[in-house]
Amino acid sequence: MSDDSTPGTADPALFDKVVNLCKRRGFVFPSAEIYGGFKSAYDYGPVGVLMLRNVKDAWWRSMVQLRHDVVGLDASILSPPQVWEASGHLQNFSDPLVDCKNCGARHRQDNLDNPDQCPTCGMSGQFTDPRQFNLMFKTQAGPVDGAGANAYLRPETAQGMFINFANVVNTSRKKPPFGIAQIGKSFRNEITPGNFVFRTREFEQMEMEFFVPPAEAQEWYEYWCNERLQWYIDHGIDPSLLMLRPHDADELSHYSSGTSDVEFMFPWGWGELEGIANRGDYDLKQHAEHSGSKLEYYDQAANERYVPHVIEPAAGATRTMMAFLMAAYDEEVVNDETRLVLRLHHRIAPYKVAVLPLSKKDELRGPAMEVFSMISQRYQADYDETQAIGKRYRRQDEIGTPFCVTYDFDSLEDNAVTIRERDSMEQVRLPIGDVMGWLAERLG
């Protein structure tokens, strides 16, 4: 964290610093900027797309690759109304909306500090009666209008896992306790998107539905609460910036017997990164009832048929990327100059290595390119030959690259390169033949 902030406390100045960095270094751009921007939509630039992919890969690695009891899925984004009737979204997925009769601004009533005063124009007593605004994006599938052609963009990835429960059980040889994981885009017509990519109308989720015998639900709920909190710590977020917050009874959905949020200390205070919910048998029963399909598990050994209960860790990929950026942002004074450095975990950092020839003369460019080709076979690497080497180091610090490999004029003689480490700025000289082994020890 920057010098003037204490870990575990909100730092409002950090917000602007990170948003500016995102624009300046190619992490995140406002969408349709040349047309004046499209509110609440963002495009991930050359560096941001790598980082977002790394967030998703790190989640997939922990949740699917390293586990014998979780399989993956990629379900469709477009879905028919029946799915959302059964899930309850068509009836209940709404927020209370009020309009200010004085200035015309729209607000989510439940987010207002003073439910009687418009935060846009300051007038009191000017709100319309609240009305429920459904957050789902509705569209038409095919060229013919009409009720039969209605379709929805999914507001969560979760339902894809429930409606494919039987398909997965029949094809994967998994039995409870087991999970289905999915990463993908979701869409919500949020009334008040904001705080950069924290709340947007189009975003990415990383969700897993873990199906368990009913008697084991509480045990698995506690297990996943701990696992998911630890995941953020393992990927470099200081524990003082994280907390697990159990929901109060009046916050719980009617079907949930327990929900906890992993929260992060954003510049404006604590905010949700992920919810872990004990959803009981609600989802499978709803879809069984509405579709007429049997969504049960038959335990042959016990000769018993039951509807599994579900534990759901549901995270946001785009929101999590923002938290990683905020947690990693640091400024320190080096030789009377402020050095901005993103102390990102190497799995999350956009580039793992940057190859920097000391000069862009041909005699260095050729062999430096060969070093780049060697490293980029295994690791996402950057190559940069313009500007003074100090400026290039600073640029890599600002995008969080853990290692810079410099090829200089001595390299032509000794066939060795200098590797500079981002956080300590320490340098080592290594024969080119040893570079891949050295990197593998540090990057995996």
Which of 217/356 has CB closer to ligand GAP?
217
> Rounded to the nearest whole angstrom, what is the least distance from the CB of residue 424 to ligand GAP in the complex?
33
Q: Identify which range of 1-9, 13-21, 216-224, 308-316 contacts ligand GAP by CB under 6 A.
A: 308-316
Among 73, 276, 314, 327, binds ligand GAP (CB under 6 A): 314
Alpha carbons 198 and 111: distance in angstroms, whole number: 15
Q: Does 407 bind ligand GAP (CB under 6 A)?
A: no
Burial class (CB in 10 A: 0-12, 13-18, 19+), 399: buried
* Selected binder of ligand GAP within 48, 313, 316, 402 (CB under 6 A): 316
- Residue whose CB is nearest to ligand GAP in the complex, by number: 316
Least Å distance, CB 426 to ligand GAP, is: 36
Q: Does 177 bind ligand GAP (CB under 6 A)?
A: no
Q: What is the DSSP string of 94-156?
A: EEEEEEBTTT--EEEGGG-SSTTB-TTT--BS-BPPPEEEE-PEEEE-SS--SGGGEEEE-S-
272 near ligand GAP, judged by CB under 6 A: yes
> Contacts with ligand GAP in 182-241 (CB under 6 A)?
188, 190, 199-200, 203, 205, 207
Take residue 259 and report the two structure tokens written for it. 């929900």
DSSP string, 264-285: EEETTEEEEEEEEEEEETHHHH
Alpha carbon distances (Å) from 215 to 211, 228, 254, 285: 12, 22, 20, 17
Which of 89, 228, 319, 346 is in the footprint of ligand GAP by CB under 6 A?
Answer: 319
Shortest distance, CB of residue 439 to ligand GAP, whole angstroms?
32
Backbone φ and ψ of 209, nearest 5° = -105, 120
Q: Any idea what the Cα angle at residue 223 is, between residues 256 and 199, rounded to 5°? A: 60
Sign of CA dihedral 101, 103, 105, 107: negative
CB of 85 to ligand GAP, least distance (A): 17
267 or 357, CB closer to ligand GAP?
267
- Residues that bind ligand GAP in the complex, under the rule CB under 6 A: 156, 158, 188, 190, 199-200, 203, 205, 207, 272-275, 314-316, 318-319
